[in-house]
Amino acid sequence: MRWCQVAAPIAVLLILTRGASAQFATPIHGHYPPGQTGLRGAAAPDPGWSLTDFNRLFSNLDTRNQEGDTVEAVNQAKYANIAMIGWTSDYQVFGMNFGSLVGIPFATGNLNPDNPTDSSMGLGDIIVTPISLTASAPTFDYQFQFSVWTPSGKFQPGGSDNRGSGFWSVIYTAGVVWYPGGDRKAWSLSGVARIEQNFDQAYTGITPGDNFDIDWGLARMVEVGNRNVDIGVSGFGTWQITRQSAGPNTSPYRYFGAGPEISVPIAGRFAARVRAQWEFGARNVVQGNNIWIILNARL
């Protein structure tokens, strides 16, 4: 579905800053929650406005060390809501349609799992994508984006009600979705890659390491009644590609996730998407699971 491009980098969302325990500290996590893109993540949208509401229910289950062994049970359940508005124009740059997006996240609880005492809803870090370029070819769609993640959410070292990360980031994104044979109502294979460049964190003197994320999806569209339903599997891989500058643990983290996904048009300009992803292969990070419920409207 062409609307799901909004869920691209931009779309971006809540900051998933994964944290530390007193016994074992994990590196500071980047802003982007890997796996947000899903099926047809780089699909080119039609010109106009769109509104996407991301609902993410996620767990922080246990902290994994550099060997992948569990060093502490965390056992937290959290929720985040991200309102994303996107605009795509007829104006072209290098043969691609120009657009912009902004995402405003709210989340429950301290996103660092070291202190879960506060469970109120609070503003997270807002993401702005001033440059989004999308285009279509006979057998594929593709995109390039530049995004800025702001430290707008509350952040204080050790705070129980943190919703922000305390640092700025810029994200460089490239993505493609391939339709074998050129039939957009059949199979699709997508991949969206991002490099997140992180800057100094407030109050701590730490510069988090940069990270590389890739979201992917394999799907088949089928007709159910009079609706074209997209069914498949989506997942992600994320790696910290540079070490953070200081802290008790500067060894890079990595982890992966995968699971089923379905996208269903509701009526007219509305559509819904549900995605579940189980995390695995975690190193130096808190491992958990994710459920995404995404509603989209073409305005």
Domain hosting 163: range is 2-298
The pLDDT assigned to 117 comes to 55
Q: Return all residues near 137 (Cβ < 8 A) that are at least 6 apart.
A: none
Residue 5 contacts residue 43 (beta carbons within 8 Å): yes
- Write down the mean pLDDT value for the chain: 89
State yes or no: pLDDT of 20 exceeds 60.
no
Confidence band (pLDDT; 50, 70, 90) for 9? very low
> pLDDT tens, 117-164?
567 789 999 999 999 999 999 999 999 999 999 999 999 888 878 889
More confident residue, 216 or 158: 216
- Number of Cβ atoms within 10 Å of the Cβ of 55: 14
Instruction: Say how far apart CA 60 and CA 113 lie, in whole Å.
Output: 7
Confidence band (pLDDT; 50, 70, 90) for 6? very low
Query: Can you give the CATH number for the domain in which 12 is found?
Result: 2.40.160.40
The reported pTM is 0.89
The pLDDT assigned to 121 comes to 87
β 96-108/48-64 pair status:
unpaired
Number of domains within the chain: 1
State yes or no: pLDDT of 61 exceeds 80.
yes
Burial of 232 (0-12, 13-18, 19+ CB in 10 A): buried
The pLDDT assigned to 8 comes to 39
